[in-house]
Amino acid sequence: MSPAVDAAEVRRRTRELLAAHPPATTGRTDFLKARFDAGLAWVHYPVGLGGLAAPRSLQQVADAELAAADAPDNDPRRIGIGLGMAAPTILGFGTDEQKRRFLRPLWVGEEVWCQLFSEPGAGSDLAALATRAVRDETGDWIVDGQKVWTSSAHLARWAILIARTDPDLPKHRGISYFICDMTDPGVEVRPLRQITGEAEFNEVFLTGVRIPDSHRLGPVGEGWKVAQTTLMNERVSIGGSRIPREGGMIGPVAKTWRERPELRTPDTHQRLLTLWVEAEVARLTGERLRQQLVAGQPGPEGSGMKLAFARLNQEISGLEVELLGEEGLLYSDWTMVRPELVDFTGRDAGYRYLRSKGNSIEGGTSEVLLNIVAERVLGLPAEPRNDKDVAWKDLSR
């Protein structure tokens, strides 16, 4: 951290940015590029990469000044995978050239990212993935395989990808991590229609996709280590996002409770109180988790937050449907669309109830996260595993 950068310095730099690039007369993209170049994108990143090498806590100083000036943001929900998963991984394992190439357009929102991790035969057991990357005589990697449950693949310019580069090694040790160009002719994106009627997710087929070795993140064969950075950040970004009191799923239920007294019963009253308290505890725990991030990378505690997020969303949305009775069963917009954003609170109760079922799968299944919390947070004995030292090619699939 740079001792020269404090709140006053961040405030000064922000006001200089606003004076040089007035939001009212500066184009949105131009303003965001200027903000990145001023080190006010993510202040804890290195100088020259959108930051000031300052404490992460000072980001809120810049954000407050910019919000007061009605400055545009980078639409973080639309580019959440890039911001929450790709960027910290590139920062941690990328070369200087990769950082300079990818971080600025990622943060500005010029390039959307997706995550090519899960496969039809390797969801919960991600390390069992079968997508192959074979190096040819030019030094490039040729990738063949299939990925599934890929959010934003239909919008993405780039993807973070893990593939098997050595089937003779045990499953965790024969994986490498790449940046994949989603515009390559060997990449085919197909929509996956969900129970909500829309196709927010995709399946992605990779056929002879050529990836230059310069787009590899980390050493060959150490992709699992690199992926852990992505996964830990993913779980924090899903379960630990900053929300106000009564933000998220609990807000619409509490609003209905206050405005529709005829719907109240003693049972739903008690359940709502319990869930309101649990939602507030989860919100405050998320604040503490973000404070811990100031000291370094997110740890396994993020898995606990993501667990709580999934359970609460499902219980709260279930209570909302029950509270509304027949009205709660209505679903006004069951149509096949390819959304850019998932809107949990701006839709009706039926949508929230159906969509929340995916919360316990996306970003790591709740069953896997329970194991992570048990072993890495609580220090309980690990589950017996008989495949840790077996070559991937010899595993039954």
CB atoms within 10 A of CB 301: 21
The size of the chain, in residues, is 397
Q: How far is the C-alpha of 71 from the C-alpha of 62, rounded, in Å?
A: 11
Q: How far is the C-alpha of 47 from the C-alpha of 96, rounded, in Å?
A: 12
Q: Given 65, 119, 234, 320, which residue is catalytic?
A: 234
DSSP at 364: S
Question: If phi over 0 gives left and psi between -120 and 50 gives alpha, with beta otherwise, what is residue 197?
Answer: left
Structure tokens at 9: 């310095």
Task: Name the β-bridge partners of 146.
Answer: 205
CB atoms within 10 A of CB 98: 17
Question: If phi over 0 gives left and psi between -120 and 50 gives alpha, with beta otherwise, what is residue 146?
Answer: beta
Q: How far is the C-alpha of 234 from the C-alpha of 362, rounded, in Å?
A: 10
Q: How far is the C-alpha of 367 from the C-alpha of 290, rounded, in Å?
A: 24
Structure tokens at 265: 């019963």
Q: How far is the C-alpha of 144 from the C-alpha of 151, rounded, in Å?
A: 20
Strands 158-164 and 113-116: parallel
315 counts as catalytic = no
Would you please indicate which residues are annotated as catalytic (active-site) residues? Answer: 234
